[in-house]
Chains A and B, each alone.
Chain A
């Protein structure tokens, strides 16, 4: 029983990342009609915002310590972060320790800016082109972005730890007399994802801006005829979608050390999530994200693998095939979307 509950938690946690990325993909597809294969790269850029802030906070000056030697036998250059020199070792150390949560504030404007530049600079030229062209150009962009990141940060994973206070484990089953030990940061990640998803839905549901965007998603032409500049709002939505992917990346860095390829690792899965959820359906993307995350976790259990060897590698695609055969528009897909 403990093992099953643990896998459900793991699934929800994986599903959180899938849902956040798929949510952004669906927002872009629903508003701009663009199939954005560079969305995984936005997740990766978000993660590298955390890496960058960590490096900024660790910027140091060097003092030569004659009593210590480096690996070549020369006097050792001891590094002291400026932050620690300015605020003292305790406060400075705490600021560095909290680099990942602080990176949320750092990443939001950067990601909105990246999204804005990407949309205005490249993607807007492909609105009226076939989806195949959009896929090619955005996939090419994703490759360029990851190579740029690799050039500056290298190919190896870079450790970006959670704050000490949020490291370690918590027993989630203590209240019901069970032993369900789970990493604190993964619990934080899940609730963070729920918060962001809730925020996006509230924004679209309860604000005038959101109402206009929803109207534009339903009938762009009519909204335009009412004198509303829907394109500008859609551009802002692209920025918001980029920020959602970026924040998902920032918070993911303590779970797995970021590397330049992490966006591609999530991209294909996220597209499957969008298709299973139903093209253009925001609730469908979230539901499918969590569903596929949980199923993927169960497929990794030894009992399941012993019955169906290798199932953990293909479960998501098997489920996608079954759902698309039985519900061709996906779980919550709307009629007419990508059916012209």
Chain B
């Protein structure tokens, strides 16, 4: 049996030395490779572009991918620099991000939440992507945003218009540049009032999923505030192709405005069916019957052809804008690909530059540092006027466009014309607005 003679002084001394020994490596490794998920250690950094490459939005996904490739080219110093020349922040130098050459991997969301999560997971775990971006659906955006939050990487959303993305489903690691349903309502309402008056009866046909519900709520609230009545809100299956049996009841409903809360193929088919049934020639309540498509997409409008003529809606951005940033982007994109970019391409390009800029300003790829750098960031020169990335919900606030199907298009791209650029102040709302209630941004997760 051995004797152990411990004095109080000796115990304290030993404890202090042991404590310092344990603490020392942590202090020294605070910025080491294990500090956050997929910290780039070599001369390159990998971004993950998660877009629909198959499925109904594959063409929109292809345009997003073109924009991402253009953004990577510009970040690495290639091409004419595009919007990097007009961006108000001058942190980007065309030498990659923090001096690391930008590389990318792509995933296919298939516009299915589970497939999108699987491809994002693969890009994070196998390819070491430090940021995920893309998508053409709110259901997908919300699913991938949740995954990125858990994995500890930044998610820069692509085309997602549901209020929920930065409302009840918002996450600290997720950021949205695209506008939302509330903003569409706020931008459209004054234009609709001027065009159609305050005494109108509206009938909503709504795609039965998160985006459709929040847009319907937003547009109904905005038009009812004008004095319009909402006579009916009918949910239509996402898989519906022939909307004739949903359009027919509109004819005898007493409504004089049809609001189509549809996107993509749904929008093309429901609008085509509504025009076929002669709604646009009808006179109801002594007024011409009108159709409104709150969220327009030029790529989708092409499928509806002449049926879009004279029909109003809203959009995040349009290639005919004459500000310096938009013109620079259209020139870069058009020279490289031979046609003008879509709004989906624009938001994806801008999101990539915004992420890269935030990293440069933060001096780190750590998602929490990047998030802090993006929160409350004010910028300009990216095509939508002065813009704020609001800290409270990670939603961008900027001007919103009201557009109309062009009566006499001069080319296959010239389908929409900008009717009004709605100023940012008109589409802003409080972070605790009831339409965005119920969510919690939570804390940033650096992962690792």
* A interface, CB within 8 angstroms of B: 2-3, 6-7, 10-11, 13-14, 68, 70-72, 76, 150, 154-159, 161, 167-169, 181-183, 185-186, 255-257, 259, 261-262, 265, 296-297, 300-302, 305, 312-313
Contacts and interface: CB of A to CB of B under 8 A. Distances in A.
Interface residues of B, number: 48
A300 B245 contact: yes
Given A156-B300, A161-B305, A256-B242, A72 B58 contact: no
24 contacts: A3-B252, A7-B248, A14-B245, A71-B339, A72-B331, A150-B54, A155-B58, A157-B300, A159-B272, A159-B304, A161-B305, A168-B281, A181-B277, A185-B276, A256-B242, A257-B304, A259-B303, A261-B56, A262-B241, A265-B239, A297-B245, A297-B248, A302-B232, A305-B234
A181 B251 contact: yes
A199 to B, nearest CB: 24
A14 B242 contact: yes
Contact of B276 (A68, A72, A186, A297): A186
Contacts of A14: 242, 244-245
The main secondary structure of chain B at its interface with chain A is: helix
B421 to A, nearest CB: 19
A41 to B, nearest CB: 16
Chain A CB within 10 A, most for which of B248, B306, B410: B248
A262 B304 CA distance: 16
Contacts of A155: 54-59
A76 B302 CA distance: 20
B305 A156 contact: no
A71 B278 contact: no
Contact of A259 (B60, B245, B265, B331): B265
A231 to B, nearest CB: 37
Contacts of B277: 169, 181-183
B330 interface: yes
B303 A183 contact: no
B221 interface: no
A313 B232 CA distance: 19
Interface in B100-146: none
Contact of A71 (B58, B300, B340): B340
A312 B246 CA distance: 10
Contact of B319 (A2, A11, A71, A305): A71
Chain A CB within 10 A, most for which of B234, B241, B269: B241
A157 B330 contact: no
Contacts of A313: 237
A21 to B, nearest CB: 13
B306 A157 contact: no
B251 A68 contact: no
B148 interface: no
Given A168-B278, A255-B242, A302 B340 contact: no
B330 A71 contact: yes
Contacts of B237: 312-313
A183 B276 CA distance: 6
Interface in B353-405: none
A265 B241 contact: yes
B248 A3 contact: yes
Contacts of A302: 232, 234, 249
A158 B331 contact: no
Contacts of A181: 251, 277-278
B249 A72 contact: no
Interface string B267-307: 01100110011100100000000000000000110111111
Nearest to A298: B245
Interface string B57-78: 1111000000000000000000
Nearest to A305: B234
Interface in B183-219: none
B228 interface: no
A257 B307 CA distance: 11
Contacts of B299: 156
Contacts of A68: 410
Interface in B310-336: 319-320, 330-331, 334-335
A257 B303 contact: yes
A286 B249 CA distance: 27
Q: Can you list the 4 inter-chain pairs with the closest CB atoms, starting with the nearest?
A: A159-B305, A157-B303, A155-B58, A300-B245
B244 A296 contact: no
A14 B240 CA distance: 12
A161 B306 contact: yes
Given A256-B269, A256-B272, A259-B265, A158 B245 contact: no
Contacts of A11: 245
A259 B302 contact: no
B305 A301 contact: no
A154 B411 CA distance: 19
Contact of B252 (A2, A161, A255): A2
A16 to B, nearest CB: 11
A156 B267 CA distance: 11
B276 A6 contact: no
Chain B CB within 10 A, most for which of A11, A70, A185: A70
B302 A6 contact: no
Contacts of B265: 156-157, 259
Contacts of B307: 159
Given A169-B277, A181-B277, A10 B304 contact: no
A100 B239 CA distance: 26
Contacts of A296: 245
A174 to B, nearest CB: 14
Nearest to A181: B278
Contacts of A72: 330-331, 334-335
Interface in B219-269: 232, 234, 237, 239, 241-242, 244-246, 248-249, 251-252, 265, 268-269
A112 B268 CA distance: 31
Nearest to A17: B242
Contacts of A157: 265, 268-269, 300, 303-304
Given A68-B410, A156-B59, 13 more contacts: A6-B248, A6-B251, A10-B245, A14-B244, A71-B319, A72-B330, A76-B410, A155-B57, A156-B268, A157-B300, A183-B278, A297-B244, A312-B237
A302 B57 CA distance: 30
Contact of B413 (A13, A71, A168, A265): A71
A46 to B, nearest CB: 16
Contacts of A297: 244-245, 248
Contacts of B239: 265
